[in-house]
């Protein structure tokens, strides 16, 4: 990553959407927001909380803007994008710990690669274990956006966001289909002709606050979103999205069987739950869109 004394990230905004997690906000993301503001980044916090606890934390962060919005992660991200004129917009979550120089590194990669519309980093647990993801490199259409990156560690060129359109407010936490607003945006950026650059050097620490026993339920929710995302694009005549959906579902089922054969019951159940959620999300979206 770039060193913290690199020239200020004067043309990049960092957006965080948060809801009723003031203690986590203060413990995890607040120090990173403060460092990013010191590096010259524009900080936008979209608060969907029912109380003012988070607002009080934001008020203590020099240079941070506090905005309010209705519920939904995509709703909040769209509010943040509209609230800044920065050439680049980075996104993270309130349960993430950002390393020094993170925002500058995002800005430098986007500025240095004119054909890249989005940059995705990686994540690791506090123990150091890295999340699964694709190999570092530059990815272009046509390909799947799944596992390219996550919404807590990516950034976009404004022109790419404009070309792709706003975050889909049917997708993401707090929405009807509770995830996949991030992969949906990456997919649309790719389809609009922009490349996505994935880097292992821009990593963040994702707080490990959920018990392992919660993984099947969590992955079922992820499957709901990715299935709905796939159904949306297929319904619009995108046969590439349909092929990607078949591959994603098949991969999840194979992964579950392999985990079961390897005596990894939690992983097997989690991948099966993701597959079940994918089918359910696909079917629910198609039903919802049927007149």
- Assigned domain for 132 exists: yes
Q: Are residues 192 and 93 in the same domain?
A: yes
Read off the pTM: 0.93
Q: How far is Cα of residue 42 from the mean position of the Cα atoms in its chain? A: 19
Query: Do 28 and 103 fall into the same domain?
Result: yes
Is residue 187 domain-shared with residue 274, that is, in the same domain?
Answer: no
Same domain, 194 and 217: no
> Helix, strand, or coil here: 137?
strand
Domain edge (last residue) among 206, 239, 265: 206
Residue 276's pLDDT is what? 97
Question: Do 238 and 201 lie in a common domain?
Answer: no
**Domain for residue 6, yes or no?**
no
pLDDT of residue 113: 96
Number of domains in the chain: 2
Cα 22 to Cα 212: distance, rounded to the nearest angstrom: 23
pLDDT of residue 209: 64
Q: Which residue pairs, CB below 8 angstroms and at least 24 apart, start in 231-238? A: 231/281, 231/282, 231/283, 231/285, 231/286, 231/289, 232/168, 232/170, 232/184, 232/285, 232/289, 233/187, 235/285, 235/286, 235/289, 238/191
Structure token pair of residue 271: 């991948």
Same structural domain, 248 and 174:
no
**Residue 1 domain flag:** no
In a domain, 259, yes or no: yes
Query: pLDDT in tens for each of the 291 residues of the chain?
Result: 444 444 444 599 999 999 999 999 999 999 999 999 999 999 999 999 999 999 999 999 988 999 999 999 999 999 999 999 999 999 999 999 999 999 999 999 999 999 999 999 999 988 888 888 899 999 999 999 999 999 999 999 999 999 999 999 999 999 999 999 999 999 999 999 999 999 998 999 998 766 677 788 889 999 999 999 999 999 999 999 999 999 999 999 999 999 999 988 988 999 999 999 999 999 999 988 876
Which residue, 177, 206, 235, sits at the end of a domain? 206
The CATH code of the domain that includes 183 is 3.90.550.10
pLDDT for 10 equals 54
Residue 2 lies in a domain: no
Q: Which of 144, 179, 206 is the C-terminal boundary of a domain?
A: 206
Kindly state whether residues 125 and 248 are assigned to the same domain.
Answer: no
Q: How many Cβ atoms are within 10 Å of 68's Cβ, its own excluded?
A: 12
Among residues 158, 151, 164, 174, the alpha carbon closest in space to that of 73 is found at 174
Residue 64 lies in a domain: yes
Q: Are residues 162 and 226 in the same domain?
A: no
Q: 125 and 227 share a domain?
A: no
The conformation of residue 212, written as its DSSP 8-state character, comes to G
Which range of residues forms the domain containing residue 142? 12-206
Q: Is residue 7 part of a domain?
A: no
Domain-embedded: residue 56: yes
* Omega within 30 of 0 (cis) for the link into 249: no
**Residues 73, 216 within the same domain:** no
Q: Are residues 63 and 197 in the same domain?
A: yes
Residues 202 and 221 in one domain: no
């Amino acid at each position: 990553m770039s060193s913290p004394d690199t020239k200020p990230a004067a043309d990049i905004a960092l957006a965080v959407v948060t809801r009723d997690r003031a203690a986590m906000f203060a413990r995890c993301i607040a120090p990173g927001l403060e460092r990013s503001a010191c590096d010259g980044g524009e900080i936008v916090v979209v608060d969907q909380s029912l109380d003012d606890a988070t607002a009080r934390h934001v008020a203590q962060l020099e240079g941070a803007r506090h905005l309010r919005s209705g519920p939904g992660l995509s709703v909040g991200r769209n509010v943040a994008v509209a609230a800044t004129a920065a050439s680049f917009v980075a996104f993270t979550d309130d349960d993430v710990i950002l390393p020094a120089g993170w925002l500058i590194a995002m800005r430098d990669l986007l500025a240095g690669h004119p054909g890249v519309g989005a940059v995705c980093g990686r994540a690791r647990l506090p123990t150091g274990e890295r999340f699964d993801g694709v190999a570092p490199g530059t990815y272009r259409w046509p390909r799947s956006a799944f596992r390219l990156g996550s919404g807590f560690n990516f950034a976009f060129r404004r022109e790419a966001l404009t070309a792709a359109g706003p975050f889909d407010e049917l997708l993401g936490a707090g929405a009807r289909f509770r995830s996949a607003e991030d992969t949906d945006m990456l997919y649309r950026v790719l389809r609009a002709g922009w490349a996505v650059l994935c880097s292992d050097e821009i990593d963040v620490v994702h707080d490990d606050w959920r018990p392992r026993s919660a993984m099947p339920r969590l992955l079922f929710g992820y499957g709901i979103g990715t299935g709905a995302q796939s159904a949306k694009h297929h319904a619009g005549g995108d046969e590439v999205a349909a092929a990607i959906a078949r591959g994603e579902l098949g991969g999840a089922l194979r992964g579950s069987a392999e985990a079961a054969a390897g005596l990894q019951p939690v992983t097997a159940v989690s991948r099966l739950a993701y597959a079940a959620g994918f089918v359910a999300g696909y079917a629910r979206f198609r039903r919802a869109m049927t007149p």
